[in-house]
Amino acid sequence: MPSYVCSVPDGKLSDAQKQQIATSITNRHCEITGAPPFFVQVVIEEEGSTKRFIGGLATTEYIWIRVDMRAGRSEDQRKTLMLNIVGDVSRISGIPAENVWIYLCMLESTDMMEYDRVLPEPGKEQQWFRTLPESVRARLESLGIDQHKFQL
């Protein structure tokens, strides 16, 4: 459901750091929203030939995170989520917190589709989960869905 796309400078992060960032973002999202971990997608894109510019000058010292997530989270939840993720990513990457930028883009749940289903409103995940085919539910259950607040 939420998709976190992290654009990082080419060669700045090891595979272990990338894994730590993906795990941290997943955990923070689940802790704050109560959504199950199988909803969280994290993509880490190394910039490679992509060049980022601020004020017309090339930079390689920033991490940008764009988040597309369902609307319906409180302002406090969104702020806490962003502050925690910035702190975690800064600690893991060694890039100063002021150089980790997040853009939250809120979408209505009816504007998103996964697993061949339109997504539920926040808080309606269990009912939505029950509509999935058994094979999909089994695969998602194997991801450890009860490790956070979400319980089936």
Kindly report, residue by residue over 54-111, the tens digit of the pLDDT.
889 888 889 999 999 999 899 999 999 999 999 999 999 999 999 999 999 999 989 9
Categorize the per-residue pLDDT at 152 as very low, low, confident or very high, splitting at 50, 70 and 90. very low
Rg value, the chain, Cα = 16
Please tell me the CATH code under which domain 3-147 is placed.
Answer: 3.30.429.10
Categorize the per-residue pLDDT at 20 as very low, low, confident or very high, splitting at 50, 70 and 90. very high
Task: Tell whether the model's pLDDT for residue 121 goes beyond 90.
Answer: no
The stretch 13-20 carries a mean pLDDT of 95
Measured CA distances, 70 to 9, 33, 115, 130, 145 (Å):
28, 11, 16, 19, 19
For position 146, what pLDDT does the model report?
54
